[in-house]
């Protein structure tokens, strides 16, 4: 699902690649730190690419976790 | 079986045979050395025999990530590397901000690489699948090209690789991960190059669990709450290590012309300062995994490239000022080239300054330089970087760093080389006596200070602030506090350095970043709480400090076996004999006798022999390093 259609808005230009969103998500849903099982995915690059899997229910924990304001509940 | 939050395995790879072994991480190893830098030190001591040539296949490259790496514990990305350094001959140590998280998700706490591949290779690690792959299509590419090619070939993998400098065994070449995190000083790139190892790519899909989830989560949330209340953290996020720029400049840290004079203050601040960074150079903020600070940056000029850095101040100083490249934009371009080639800009800047200074004095001639005319400036910097990376002409001399310089230009005399154990130090002890400047003399890796970082690099802390830091933050025992503050108005910097180093050893072994805003929030009690919640192993600040002391003594023992003694802890002659000129004001040298007294205090605080500077047998046994004591005794030390 593209970030643009999603209840959580992503601002890649503010994303620093810290991955705390991914760690909080997998911690919440699978009780382990595992970015590959996170429902938010951050792909590192010159401009990080943020996407959400179909399992994301927009709980907003990633929004709360982000230290850089790169995520917002729409 | 190792406790929770460890991946639980050490991965051994032999590049010659392609043999791969996955050994369980022994619980006693984790208990006695914590992880990361600590376990690395034990592996290095056990696996790297004394007297080995750093470029021989028998040298071992060890990468390790501590028990907090890969978790939500804030700012715990630190992945340590250890090897025998081809630059210093000491235990090579470096800490990087990436890689380790993914290594742990793949199921490994440590990676041990031995042997030499018969042809250019890269190592691919994907959970349980480990392969030595053909890298003939990559050999010769620079670091950015290699990273891009491997990112395309292996989507979702993180790439650590070397460039031409590593391939050509430039003794101060580095390894770069995802184009932003370095195993930087001491020639790690050259060790990989000597093994025909072009890159390591890693991807993991295994989770890391913790022993006490509620306690761990509460600790994380409490830490983040405290962190978010500190206003200066926002400034760190905006300008990174440049937060120290003006203070460093005024003290005289930012010298050029071969350590003789501080770069002119006005230009330092106007052309290369924080405002210029914000307005012209910084293009984005980068964090290491799990870090809420974001002190790293993407850089570029108006027409220049985007390049990432983990330390904005470092290259601004070395390339902007020391190489005198003319503009901040030029400094970024030169830095990009350093990162493409894999050349440590710090050692490069010092070598270039040295070459220039001596050529101008006439102590180096055109015959010495093989016809090369040394000069500073942008074109000269870009040209010399290329020559060094490819070992062309004078570049071949400089590629061997201070060995090459001393052998070719100074007939074997080390008097003129500003280095400590063959590594040129960043921070001038003439400017300030701090744990950072003093620590460079005694750090096992040679002249660097990242294991000695405390709070007083600007030398402006009051005794009361230092007392609170030493007692409350590090948890120095009362008896030691009496020694440290024997003169209440003049706390002993060498004695504080001992404890700071033990504390930093804890941070590096857990995976915690030692940048000031992070390490301030992590004191020994917080470290103890996080460690206990993560692993289920109860500990205490005192126990952690004891382990930190053990790790430090083991790192020292590695060097003792290699022949390093008290004289190798001496400051460079320039610092001890010549003043530093800062805006027309002479800052006096620190005489050899004074350095000697500082070393005496440090060795005393460490319970080491004052005459030799070596750990005593009693100290090693007390720390559970009886086997090390026996080794040294067998060697007649």
Q: What ipTM did this prediction achieve?
A: 0.95
User: What is the predicted pLDDT for the residue at B326?
Assistant: 96
DSSP B418-473: --BTTB--SS-TTT---HHHHHHHH-TTSS--TTS--S-TTS---HHHHHHIIIII
Q: A46 or B308, which is more confident?
A: B308
With CA atoms as reference, the chain B residue closest to A17 would be B287
CA neighbours closer than 13 Å in the CB half-sphere of residue B217? 13
Hey, is the C-beta of A23 within 8 angstroms of any chain B C-beta? yes
Structure tokens at B78: 């630190």
Does the distance separating the beta carbons of A31 and B289 come in below 8 Å? no
Percent of chain B surpassing pLDDT 90: 97
pLDDT band at B306 (very low <50, low <70, confident <90, very high): confident
User: What is the predicted pLDDT for the residue at B16?
Assistant: 97
Strands A8-10 and A71-73: antiparallel
Residue A44 predicted with pLDDT over 90: no
What are φ and ψ of residue B146, in 5° steps? -65, -45
**Could you read off the pLDDT of B568-620 as tens digits, one per residue?**
999 999 999 999 999 999 999 999 999 999 999 999 999 999 999 999 999 99
How far apart are alpha carbons B434 and B454 in whole angstroms? 8
Does the distance separating the beta carbons of B207 and A20 come in below 8 Å? no
Closest by Cα among B518, B560, B523, B563 to B544:
B523
Does the distance separating the beta carbons of B105 and A36 come in below 8 Å? yes
User: What is the predicted pLDDT for the residue at A47?
Assistant: 84
Span B272-291, mean pLDDT? 95
Enumerate the residues of chain A whose CB falls inside 8 A of the CB of residue B75.
Answer: none
Span B87-106, mean pLDDT? 96
What's CA B560's distance to the chain center, in Å? 20
Residue B110 to residues B257, B328, B329, B617: CA-CA distances in angstroms?
Answer: 42, 39, 39, 29
Instruction: Compute the mean pLDDT over every residue in chain B, rounded to the nearest whole number.
Output: 96
Give every CB contact of residue B563 below 8 A, 6+ residues apart in sequence: none
How far apart are alpha carbons B507 and B449 in whole angstroms? 14
- The end-to-end CA distance of chain A, in Å, is 15
Chain A closest-CA separation from residue B237 CA (Å) = 9
Matching residue, tokens 């009886």? B626
User: What is the predicted pLDDT for the residue at A4?
Assistant: 52
Instruction: Compute the mean pLDDT over every residue in chain A, rounded to the nearest whole number.
Output: 92
Does the distance separating the beta carbons of A23 and B284 come in below 8 Å? no
Hey, is the C-beta of A27 within 8 angstroms of any chain B C-beta? yes
User: What is the predicted pLDDT for the residue at B1?
Assistant: 60
**Could you read off the pLDDT of B346-370 as tens digits, one per residue?**
999 999 999 999 999 999 999 999 9
For residue B94, list its beta bridge partners. B81
Residue A46 predicted with pLDDT over 60: yes
With CA atoms as reference, the chain A residue closest to B206 would be A34
Give every CB contact of residue B199 below 8 A, 6+ residues apart in sequence: B122, B123, B135, B138, B146, B150, B159, B160, B161, B162
Does the distance separating the beta carbons of A44 and B294 come in below 8 Å? no
Structure tokens at B16: 């010659």
With CA atoms as reference, the chain A residue closest to B293 would be A67
What are φ and ψ of residue B208, in 5° steps? -110, 125
Span B139-151, mean pLDDT? 98
**Could you read off the pLDDT of B614-631 as tens digits, one per residue?**
999 999 999 999 999 999
Residue B494 predicted with pLDDT over 70: yes
Residue B330 predicted with pLDDT over 70: yes
pLDDT band at A5 (very low <50, low <70, confident <90, very high): low
pLDDT band at B403 (very low <50, low <70, confident <90, very high): very high
pLDDT band at B3 (very low <50, low <70, confident <90, very high): confident
Enumerate the residues of chain A whose CB falls inside 8 A of the CB of residue B178.
Answer: 44
Give every CB contact of residue B442 below 8 A, 6+ residues apart in sequence: B497, B501, B569, B599, B602
Enter the pTM of the model: 0.97
How far apart are alpha carbons B406 and B412 in whole angstroms? 5
User: What is the predicted pLDDT for the residue at A1?
Assistant: 46
Q: Which runs of consecutive H residues, i.e. helices, occur in B142-244?
A: 143-153, 164-167, 188-194, 213-228, 232-239
Chain A closest-CA separation from residue B238 CA (Å) = 11
Pair B143, B340: CB distance under 8 Å:
yes
DSSP-based three-state secondary structure for B357: helix
Closest by Cα among B94, B89, B88 to B64:
B94
Enumerate the residues of chain B whose CB falls inside 8 A of the CB of residue A40.
Answer: none
SS3 of A7-60: the string is CEEECHHHCCCCCHHHHHHHHHHHCCECHHHCCEEEECCCCCEEEECCCCCCCC
How far apart are alpha carbons B108 and B102 in whole angstroms? 9
DSSP-based three-state secondary structure for B257: coil
């Amino acid at each position: 699902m593209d970030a643009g259609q999603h209840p959580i808005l992503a601002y890649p230009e503010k994303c620093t690649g810290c991955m705390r969103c991914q760690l909080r998500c997998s911690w919440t849903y699978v009780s382990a730190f595992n970015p590959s099982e996170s429902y938010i995915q951050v792909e590192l690059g010159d401009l990080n690419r943020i996407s959400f899997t179909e399992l994301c229910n927009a709980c907003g924990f990633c929004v709360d976790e982000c230290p850089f304001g790169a995520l917002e509940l729409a | 079986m190792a406790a929770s939050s460890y991946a639980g395995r050490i991965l051994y790879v032999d590049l010659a045979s392609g043999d791969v072994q996955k050994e369980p991480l022994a619980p006693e190893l984790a208990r006695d050395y914590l992880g990361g830098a600590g376990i690395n030190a034990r592996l290095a001591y056990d696996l790297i025999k004394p007297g080995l040539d750093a470029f021989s296949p028998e040298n071992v490259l060890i990468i390790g990530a501590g028990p907090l790496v890969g978790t939500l514990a804030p700012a715990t990305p630190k992945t340590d590397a250890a090897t025998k350094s081809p630059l210093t001959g000491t235990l090579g140590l470096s800490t990087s901000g990436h890689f380790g998280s993914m290594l742990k998700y793949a199921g490994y706490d440590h990676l041990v690489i031995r042997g030499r591949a018969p042809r250019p290779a890269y190592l691919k690690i994907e959970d349980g699948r480990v392969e030595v792959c053909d890298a003939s299509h990559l050999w010769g590419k620079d670091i950015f090209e290699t990273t891009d090619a491997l990112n395309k070939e292996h989507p979702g993998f993180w790439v650590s690789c070397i460039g031409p400098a590593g391939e050509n065994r430039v003794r101060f070449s580095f390894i770069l991960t995802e184009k932003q995190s370095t195993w930087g000083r001491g020639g790690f790139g050259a060790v990989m190059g000597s093994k025909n190892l072009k890159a390591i790519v890693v991807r993991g899909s295994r989770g890391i669990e913790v022993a006490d989830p509620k306690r761990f989560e509460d600790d994380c949330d409490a830490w983040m709450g405290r962190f978010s209340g500190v206003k200066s953290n926002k400034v760190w996020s905006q300008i990174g290590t440049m937060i120290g720029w003006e203070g460093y400049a005024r003290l005289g840290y930012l010298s050029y012309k071969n350590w003789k004079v501080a770069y002119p203050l006005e230009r330092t601040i106007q052309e290369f300062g924080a405002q210029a960074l914000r307005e012209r150079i910084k293009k984005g903020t980068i964090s290491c995994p799990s870090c809420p600070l974001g002190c790293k940056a993407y850089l570029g000029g108006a027409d220049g490239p985007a390049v990432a850095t983990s330390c904005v101040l470092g290259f601004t100083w070395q390339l902007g000022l020391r190489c005198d490249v003319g503009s901040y934009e030029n400094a970024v371009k030169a830095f990009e080239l350093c990162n493409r080639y894999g050349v440590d800009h710090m050692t490069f800047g010092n070598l270039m300054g040295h070459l220039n200074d001596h050529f101008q004095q006439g102590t180096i001639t055109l015959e010495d330089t093989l016809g090369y005319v040394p000069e500073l400036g942008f074109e000269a910097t870009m040209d010399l970087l290329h020559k060094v990376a490819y070992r062309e002409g004078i570049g071949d001399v400089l590629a061997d760093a201070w060995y090459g310089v001393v052998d070719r230009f100074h007939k074997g005399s080390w008097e003129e080389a500003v280095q400590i154990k063959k590594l040129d130090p960043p921070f001038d002890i003439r400017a300030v006596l701090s744990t950072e400047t003093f620590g460079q003399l005694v750090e096992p890796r040679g002249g660097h200070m990242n294991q000695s970082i405390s709070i007083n690099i600007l030398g402006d802390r009051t005794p009361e602030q230092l007392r609170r830091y030493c007692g409350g933050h590090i948890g120095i025992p009362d008896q030691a506090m009496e020694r440290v503050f024997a003169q209440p108005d003049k706390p002993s910097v060498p004695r504080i350095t001992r404890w700071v180093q033990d504390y930093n050893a804890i941070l590096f072994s857990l995976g915690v970043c030692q940048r000031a805003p992070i390490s301030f929030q992590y004191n020994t009690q917080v470290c103890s709480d996080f460690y206990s919640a993560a692993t289920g192993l109860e500990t205490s600040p005192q126990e952690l400090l004891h382990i930190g002391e053990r790790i430090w003594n083991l790192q020292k023992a590695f060097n003792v076996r290699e022949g390093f003694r008290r004289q190798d802890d001496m400051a460079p002659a320039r610092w001890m004999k010549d003043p530093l000129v800062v805006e027309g004001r002479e800052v006096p040298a620190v005489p050899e006798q004074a350095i000697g007294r500082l070393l005496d205090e440090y060795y005393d605080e460490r319970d080491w022999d004052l005459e030799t500077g070596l750990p005593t047998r009693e100290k090693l046994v007390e720390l559970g390093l009886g086997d090390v004591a026996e080794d040294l005794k067998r060697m007649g030390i």
